[in-house]
Structure 1
């Protein structure tokens, strides 16, 4: 039994939902058309993984060059040859960056040691927006 109801808005809208995970991320969207039951769609094609029937998630990683420029993001960062190029050119990875948004707590010292540091001169907000 479908309990979802038709969208009762007066104009078409687009909703985008992003799940930025510690190691992988995903995106879904929904077109809201007045009078129709919304259908949530999952994005399954991302840059660097254009094959049909691709994954519904991509790695949550960014490589930055020494000058701070973005060099590779998501699936692109895991392509063949990228790790070698990153090492050769001293690219700096940003991994687990969402954990830098966590609230302060009593276990902060123990947690801080486990979280990889952000690249130099990059805030969690900057890395997050570069990822998007």
Structure 2
């Protein structure tokens, strides 16, 4: 994990209880995480995670991707999921890619109205499982 070099401070010290605040944005194609450690009397600073496994160039977002094995186990995430070696492994082992899964959250009437073409979820893997696996990955690397 790495955080950005120029955190964003708020004015004045934190006046509440000590807490960790975590912000997670799971987007259709990119996702990111920001956090703050707040202590009474301490400065209020938001940090963004800027280094993720598999990234060649560090940045605050990673691809919203999860590869699943044929036994429905999440095996690769984010930038690592786009590496040539991972894609070769995926082809050799018949892994299935979960991508654009956020669109499955739209109500069916909205999907029809806007003619959304949904990428299929990996067989036997629920949307809840994909979110659980992806959130677990984000938290592990924050």
Classify the TM-score, shorter chain: 0.7 to 0.9
Which residue number corresponds to residue 14 of structure 2? 7
Which residue number in structure 2 is paired with residue 17 of structure 1?
A: 23
Runs (4+) of structure 1 moved beyond 4 Å?
110-113
CA distance 1:94–1:38, shift in 2 (3 Å): same
1:98 aligned to 91, 95, 102, which one?
A: 102
5 Å-filtered alignment, 1:1-132, equals 4-10=11-17, 12-49=18-55, 54-105=58-109, 107-109=110-112, 114-132=117-135
Number of residue equivalences = 127
Please give the TM-score of this superposition, normalised by the length of structure 2: 0.79
**Structure 2: segments with no counterpart, 5+ residues:** 1-8, 136-142
Q: TM-score, normalised by structure 1?
A: 0.84
RMSD across aligned positions (CA): 2.1
* 1:61-117 alpha-carbon deviations (Å, 9 max, x no partner): 000011111121111101232112211211000001111112343x42365651101
Kindly provide the CA deviation profile for residues 4-30 of structure 1, in whole angstroms up to 9, marking residues without a partner as x. Answer: 3422113x2111101101011010001
Unaligned runs of 5+ in 1: none
